[in-house]
């Protein structure tokens, strides 16, 4: 019965958008066993993708509503399932739903992440779990341009992060689960700051240990841009409540591009970057961790694969990248591009 509870939960997670692909080694079951108690796994397997009342869930699971509510609230506090307090009905009530693995309850383990869980996740990603999650279209995440990288009139409304923060009432800044996981494996290749995972909501909440002010949230977004991190959000037009500030070496989703060759693992920004062959010399430099070509640096700055980086302009020690807004032609699959702005960032001193 215990093993079956985890199998049922794995199946339920795999039916969610993004999925929870199975592997030959069944390491995904080991991950669930690490995070869920057997009884909790059995109850979670009965949760739906949309929030439902305790009574509905308890009836489906064959449990008393009082028992089910206690178990569900305990799982919610551990970051394993979703919950919402619905005030719209005649009687306000808690509602619960199954949370995806990625992006979902895995990212909620930033405080409980340890050496064992880090290895289990890496094993799962290498065994094909990551490929299975990232191969689907549309992608789970999309890239958002740095706010001053393009002229304001060229930024689509759903690409504006600052207004989302301005309209929000509650903010948190957490450690990046991906950089923490790679650090525990002794595989971290960067020195980017850990506290770069931002959450914001349109409703006020009681302050917690990781709460920050609106000003601090805007400052964190600015710091992320200055050090060259990539802003990524949920690939939705509405309902964006977090910003991941990612690096290509640690981010589980961006590694889909940098390690697994899955170019569609993240939805690209609505801009293309190209390298000017007349000024690009093909030089490279050592950053203390790896050799970088100018094309690689351009790719990092604009969150596109190096192969797609084909035009830039160099001004002394600063890189000026022309960004082209991508517009799909109605009559075919080709794209018509026009200049949309630029992105500048300082480069390390060349040897």
DSSP element (H, E) containing 327: strand 318-328
Collapse the DSSP code of 144 into the 3-class scheme (helix H, G, I; strand E, B; otherwise coil) and give the result: strand
pLDDT digits (tens, 9 = 90+) for 85-105: 888 777 788 999 999 998 889
User: Residue range 146-160: average pLDDT?
Assistant: 48
Same-domain status, 118 and 215: no
Question: Above 60 in pLDDT, residue 299?
Answer: no
Distance CA 71, CA 65 (A): 10
pTM of the entire predicted model: 0.71
Compute the average pLDDT of residues 178-182. Answer: 94
| Residue 296 sits in the same domain as residue 324 | yes
Q: Considering 268, 285, 301, which residue would you say is the last residue of a domain? A: 268
Q: Which of 80, 102, 134 is the last residue of a domain?
A: 134
| Judgement on whether residues 259 and 319 belong to the same structural domain of the protein | no
Tell me the mean pLDDT in the region 217-234.
Answer: 86
Structural domain harbouring 213: 138-268
**pLDDT in the model for residue 238:** 74
40-49, 257-266, 271-280, 306-315: segment of lowest average pLDDT: 306-315
**Are 188 and 77 contained in the same domain?**
no
Q: What is the mean pLDDT of residues 40-48?
A: 97
Is 224 found in the same domain as 146? yes
Q: What is the pLDDT of residue 18?
A: 81
pLDDT tens across 314-323, in order? 333 333 333 3
- Could you tell me what percent of the chain has a pLDDT over 70? 67
CATH at residue 109? 1.10.10.10
Q: Are residues 190 and 216 located together in one domain of the fold?
A: yes
**Residue that finishes a domain, picked among 103, 134, 165:** 134
pLDDT band at 306 (very low <50, low <70, confident <90, very high): very low
What are the distances in angstroms from CA 63 to CA 18, 36, 72, 83, 260? 29, 18, 12, 19, 43
| 34 strand-pairing partners | none
Write out the H or E segment, with its range, that includes residue 103. Answer: none
pLDDT for residue 143: 66
pLDDT at 215: 94
Segment 291-306 shows an average pLDDT of 41
What the block records as the tokens of 278 is 């007349």
> Is residue 19 located within the same domain as residue 127?
yes
Please indicate, yes or no, whether residues 227 and 280 belong to a single structural domain of this protein: no
Confidence class for position 13, pLDDT limits 50, 70, 90 = very high
pLDDT of residue 133: 83
**244 and 324 fall within a common domain:** no
Give the model's pLDDT for residue 10: 97
Q: Please check the confidence at residue 7 and state whether its pLDDT lies above 90.
A: yes
Q: Are residues 171 and 109 in the same domain?
A: no
Same domain, 6 and 127: yes
| 37: its two tokens | 């108690």
Cα–Cα dist 312/293, whole Å = 13
Q: Which residue has the higher pLDDT, 186 or 345?
A: 186
pLDDT tens-digit profile of 106-119? Answer: 989 988 899 999 99
Average pLDDT, the chain: 75
For 57, 94, 122, the CA distances from 87, given in Å and listed in that order, are 19, 9, 40
User: Could you tell me if 165 and 155 lie in one domain?
Assistant: yes
Point out which residues pair with 198 in neighbouring strands. Answer: 173, 243
Q: How many domains does the chain have?
A: 3
């Amino acid at each position: 019965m215990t093993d079956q509870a985890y199998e049922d939960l794995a199946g339920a997670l795999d039916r969610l958008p993004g999925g929870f692909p199975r592997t030959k080694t069944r390491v995904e079951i080991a991950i669930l066993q690490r995070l869920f108690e057997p009884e909790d796994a059995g109850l979670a397997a009965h949760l739906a993708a949309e929030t439902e009342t305790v009574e509905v869930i308890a009836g489906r699971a064959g449990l008393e509503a009082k028992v089910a509510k206690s178990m569900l609230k305990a799982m919610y506090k551990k970051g394993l399932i979703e919950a919402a307090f619905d005030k719209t009905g005649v009687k306000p009530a808690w509602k619960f739903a199954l949370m995806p693995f990625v992006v979902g309850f895995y990212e909620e383990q930033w405080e409980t992440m340890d050496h064992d869980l880090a290895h289990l996740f890496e094993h799962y990603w290498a065994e094909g779990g990551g490929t299975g999650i990232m191969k689907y279209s549309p992608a789970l995440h999309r890239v958002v341009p740095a706010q001053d990288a393009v002229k304001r009139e060229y930024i689509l409304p759903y690409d504006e992060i600052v207004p989302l923060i301005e309209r929000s009432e509650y903010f948190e800044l957490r450690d990046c689960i991906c950089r923490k996981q790679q650090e525990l494996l002794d595989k971290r290749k960067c020195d980017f700051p850990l506290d770069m995972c931002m959450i914001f909501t349109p409703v006020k909440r009681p302050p917690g240990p990781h709460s920050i002010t609106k000003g601090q949230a805007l400052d964190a977004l600015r710091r992320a841009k200055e050090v060259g991190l990539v802003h990524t959000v949920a690939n939705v037009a509405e309902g964006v409540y977090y910003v991941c500030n990612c690096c290509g070496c640690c981010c589980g989703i961006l590694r889909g591009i940098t390690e697994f060759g899955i170019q569609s693992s993240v939805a690209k920004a609505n801009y293309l970057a190209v390298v000017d062959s007349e000024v690009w010399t093909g030089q490279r430099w050592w950053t203390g961790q790896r050799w970088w070509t100018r094309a690689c640096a351009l790719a990092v700055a604009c969150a596109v694969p190096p192969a797609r980086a084909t035009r830039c302009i160099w001004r002394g020690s600063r890189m000026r990248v022309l960004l082209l807004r991508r517009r799909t032609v109605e009559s075919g699959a080709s794209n018509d591009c026009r200049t949309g702005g630029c992105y500048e960032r300082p480069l390390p001193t060349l040897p």
